[in-house]
Amino acid sequence: GAVVSQHPSWVICKSGTSVKIECRSLDFQATTMFWYRQFPKQSLMLMATSNEGSKATYEQGVEKDKFLINHASLTLSTLTVTSAHPEDSSFYICSARVGGNAGELFFGEGSRLTVL
Amino acid sequence: RKEVEQDPGPFNVPEGATVAFNCTYSNSASQSFFWYRQDCRKEPKLLMSVYSSGNEDGRFTAQLNRASQYISLLIRDSKLSDSATYLCVVNMNTGFQKLVFGTGTRLLVSP
């Protein structure tokens, strides 16, 4: 089946620094990727939809200048958390859909960010 | 009202038991529905899609009730390995396609 790989799987950083998370589709091309955030015991919340070659679409309440998304190729999307603060500590997961709007969603392994 | 609502549980059941989860959704124009399984600190993985006529995959049965706007997941003969969080996912048609996740229902199967 389709594989989505995410890196790094966990990262610890100091407050004020920026962190980049990569999401790759390994055996298929993904014109659209999705970035989610999940806090403990809560559901996955869609942060933004990443579109290859164009600007990402952000969900309401998500700061586009803080969470920079770049989708420069059909197999790679990146999420950069800029000037991270402790409240940004969370589980960030990317996904890509195979087979159109009703297709299966494949998730990356997730990246656990801890901001000290 | 939340777009997708699930009972968070946990549901504690013994091995071999039958357990059912429900999930309600708010948007009547929603087009497709899924159940995902998420193990602790792992990414969600597709368990099964939910079809209008209902569908079964081994011990798992999914059903959709459009009139009442809910989907259900039935697990028969529970195994220890079924212990996980089950996420209800709805593809809402709000002018564009949007997948919305429920908070998940936690299942604990004990020996």
Structure tokens at B111: 């020996």
Q: Determine contact: B32 vs chain A, CB below 8 A.
A: yes
CA distance A102 to A28: 17
pLDDT score at B16: 97
Residues of A in contact with B31 (CB under 8 A): 101-102
**Which of B32, B100, B102 lies at the smallest CB-CB distance from A102?**
B32
Residues of B in contact with A109 (CB under 8 A): 42-43
DSSP code per residue over chain A: ---EEEE-SEEEE-TT--EEEEEEESSS--SEEEEEEE-TTS--EEEEEEETTS--EEPTT--TTTEEEEEEETTEEEEEE-S--GGG-EEEEEEEEESSTTSEEEE---EEEEE-
Residues of B in contact with A112 (CB under 8 A): 41
CB B101 within 8 A of CB B34: no
* CA distance to partner chain B, nearest, from residue A12 (Å): 16
**Which of A93, A105, A110 lies at the smallest CB-CB distance from B99?**
A105
**Rg, chain B, Cα only:** 14
CB atoms within 10 A of CB B8: 15
CA distance B60 to A97: 23
pLDDT in tens, A11-40: 999 999 999 999 999 988 888 899 999 988
Within 8 A by CB and 6+ apart from B57, the residues are B48
CA distance B86 to A51: 28
DSSP bridge partners of B50: B33
**Which of A45, A93, A104 lies at the smallest CB-CB distance from B46?**
A104
pLDDT score at B15: 97
pLDDT in tens, A43-60: 889 999 998 888 899 999
State the pLDDT confidence band at B96, using cuts at 50, 70 and 90: low
Q: Determine contact: B8 vs chain A, CB below 8 A.
A: yes
- Percent above pLDDT 70 for chain A: 94
Section B30-53 average pLDDT: 89
CA dihedral of A112, A105, A43, B23, whole degrees rounded to 10: -160
